[in-house]
Structure 1
Amino acid sequence: MSKVKNIAVVAHDNCKKELLDFVDCNHNILSRHNLVATGTTGGLVEKMIMERVEQKADEGYEFKPVNRMKSGPLGGDQQLGAMISEGKIDVLIFFWDPMQPQPHDVDVKALLRLAVLYNIPTASNRSTAEFLISSPFFEGEFQRKETDFSSYTQRKL
């Protein structure tokens, strides 16, 4: 994992404000990385970052566009899952709502399953996200242990 990480940010509707506050409070760290997001969340994050860049232009804030996928229920979660399986996502920050059923719950479960399967550092709430980005591994290169799937892919059927 290189020094510049590809960070997926996702939030269910009831958690979007918390994610936006997290991104705002940690913009100085997150701005050094590439953000990828599901559609609605990505639009909100990008808008908030642009506002901060305009407000603090003299403080060296940079604007990097957010790579936006489709909205989660329209396939965005699956797009992020595919990116994880292709090695294109290094970190997943997914503020999901444990109190609200989701119409695309199977997609959410699949995304989280792939993050675990491919050993992607994952934060599902603010506290974990704060711990994750404050780790010394976050700003430097990191060799993530990859699972050997050869026994599965080469099994005899």
Structure 2
Amino acid sequence: MSTTTAVSRRCVALIAHDSKKEALVEFARRHLAELARCEVVATQATAMLLRLRLGLDAVPMRPGPDGGDLQIAAKLAAGEISAVFFLRDVMVAQPHEADILALLRICDVCDVPYATNVATAWMLAQELFGRSESPEALRASDEAGESREPSGGPLGFQA
């Protein structure tokens, strides 16, 4: 029997600090088909960006500094979220750092997988969605001039 919480539709959280929003949008674009089959929750600005740029129907929580991270943490504690993709900018002090740490702590306490950078986001997505396309393969196709837009960065994304 599976140890994961039974949910009718997988729910994932997508969160990004301001300087990481473009990387999260690119990540979501590359996993759009899989994310469209999930319920997606996101902090307010991220949800709006995902909806406007990708048409992804993300349920908006409050902005992170106004309690959005804690709203997502509450959903985690209730067993409603299967995974968290949180692209953090650790080089910028966040006024709500205590809320961020509480969210990550709840992930650990509830044994919910989370990714805080692009590399771990790809690994987690591969496990959740069963994709065989790695960031290295995507970068190779970009370099070969295939139809994807080149993005830069060590794993094919802007930081």
Q: TM-score range by the shorter chain?
A: 0.7 to 0.9
Residue 3 of structure 1, CA deviation = 7.5
Give the greater-gyration-radius structure (CA): 1
Give yes or no for contact 1:8–1:93 (8 Å, CA) kept in 2: yes
Mapped contact 1:11–1:41 kept (Cα < 8 A): yes
Tell me, yes or no, if structure 1 residue 98 matches structure 2 residue 103. no
Asked if 1:73 corresponds to 2:65, the answer is: yes
Q: Could you tell me how far 1:30 is from its partner in structure 2?
A: 1.4
Residue pairs, 1:42-53, within 5 angstroms: 42-50=47-55
Aligned to 1:25: 30
Report sequence identity in percent.
Answer: 34
Partner residue of 2:152? none
- Structure 1 Cα separation of the partners of residues 8 and 23 of structure 2: 26
Separation in structure 1 between the aligned mates of residue 86 and residue 15 of structure 2, nearest angstrom:
5
Say what the alpha-carbon RMSD is for the aligned residues: 1.5
2:113 & 2:43 partners in 1: Cα distance?
Answer: 18
Q: Distance in 1 between matches of 2:9 and 2:23?
A: 24
Give the counterpart of 2:116 among 124, 135, 138.
Answer: 124
Structure with greater contact order relative to length (CA < 8 Å, sep ≥ 6): 1
- Number of residue pairs matched by the alignment: 125
> Displacement of 1:26 after TM fit?
1.3
Q: What amino acid is the match of 1:47?
A: L
Aligned position for 1:36:
41
Q: TM-score, normalised by structure 1?
A: 0.75
Q: Aligned residue for 1:146?
A: none
Question: Is the Cα contact below 8 Å between 1:3 and 1:139 reproduced in 2?
Answer: no
Name structure 2 gaps, 5 residues minimum: 131-159
Alpha-carbon separation, structure 2, partners of 1:118 and 1:134: 21
